[in-house]
Structure 1
Amino acid sequence: MDLSTLQKKVDSIRPYFPDAWEVSCATEVASVYFPHMIIDNFFTEEELDEIRKHQAPVTGKEINISHSLIESSGEIKSSVFDSAFLTAVDQRYRRPLQAILGELCGSKQALYEFSDFHMVSTGPDYQHAIHDDIPKKLLSVVIYISPEHNNGTFIHQSRYDSTPVGEVEWKPNRAFVFSRVDRKTWHSYAANKRDQRFCVIYNLNVRKAYKAHWAEGNYLKFLEKFLKNE
Structure 2
Amino acid sequence: MKEVALDYAWTNPYIVFDDFFEPEEFETIKSGFGDIDRNFNPRMGFLVLKCAFDLSGLCVYNTSRCAEEEIRPINAKFATMLLNVLAELAPYKLEQARYIDWGFQTTPKSLGQSIHPDIPEKLLSTVVYCKPEENLGTFLFSSRAGDDRFEVPWKPNRALIFSKAEDTWHSYSCNATEQRCALVLNVMSKVDPMEPG
Question: Normalized against structure 1, the TM-score is what?
Answer: 0.74
The structure carrying a bigger helix percent of its residues is 1
Q: What does residue 150 of structure 1 align with?
A: 135
CA distance in 2, matches of 1:25, 1:92: 24
Residues 98-149 of structure 1, C-alpha deviations (whole Å, 9 max, x = no match): 1111010110112110011111011111110110111110100010001111
CA distance in 2, matches of 1:82, 1:192: 29
CA contact (8 A) 2:137 2:172 kept: yes
Q: Which has the higher contact order (CA 8 A, sep 6+)?
A: 2
Matching of residue 134 in structure 1 with residue 119 in structure 2: yes
Residues 13-64 of structure 1, C-alpha deviations (whole Å, 9 max, x = no match): xxxxxxxx101356x73x4423100011111221222222233222695411
Residues 41-99 of structure 1, C-alpha deviations (whole Å, 9 max, x = no match): 11122122222223322269541100111111211121323222222012211111111
Distance 1:40 1:167, change over 3 A: same
CA distance in 2, matches of 1:96, 1:40: 15
Number of residues of Structure 1 aligned to a counterpart in Structure 2: 184
Q: What does residue 23 of structure 1 align with?
A: 3
Q: What does residue 72 of structure 1 align with?
A: 55
Give matches, 1:69-108, under 5 Å: 69-76=52-59, 77-80=61-64, 81-108=66-93
Q: Hey, which bits of structure 1, 4+ residues long, moved more than 6 A?
A: none
Give unpaired runs (5+ residues) of structure 1: 1-20, 209-230
Give unpaired runs (5+ residues) of structure 2: 192-197
Q: Secondary structure at the match of 1:86?
A: helix
Q: Secondary structure at the match of 1:33?
A: coil
Distance 1:206 1:25, change over 3 A: farther
Of 174, 186, 194, which aligns to 1:203?
186
Tell me whether 48-57 or 198-207 shows the greater mean CA deviation.
48-57
Q: Aligned partner of 1:179: which letter?
A: S
Residues 130-184 of structure 1, C-alpha deviations (whole Å, 9 max, x = no match): 10111110100010001111110011232233x66111111100000000121x1
Distance 1:141 1:32, change over 3 A: closer
CA contact (8 A) 1:22 1:41 kept: yes
In our comparison, the structure showing a higher alpha carbon Rg is 1
Q: Secondary structure at the match of 1:88?
A: helix
Question: Normalized against structure 2, the TM-score is what?
Answer: 0.85
CA RMSD in angstroms, aligned pairs only: 2.0
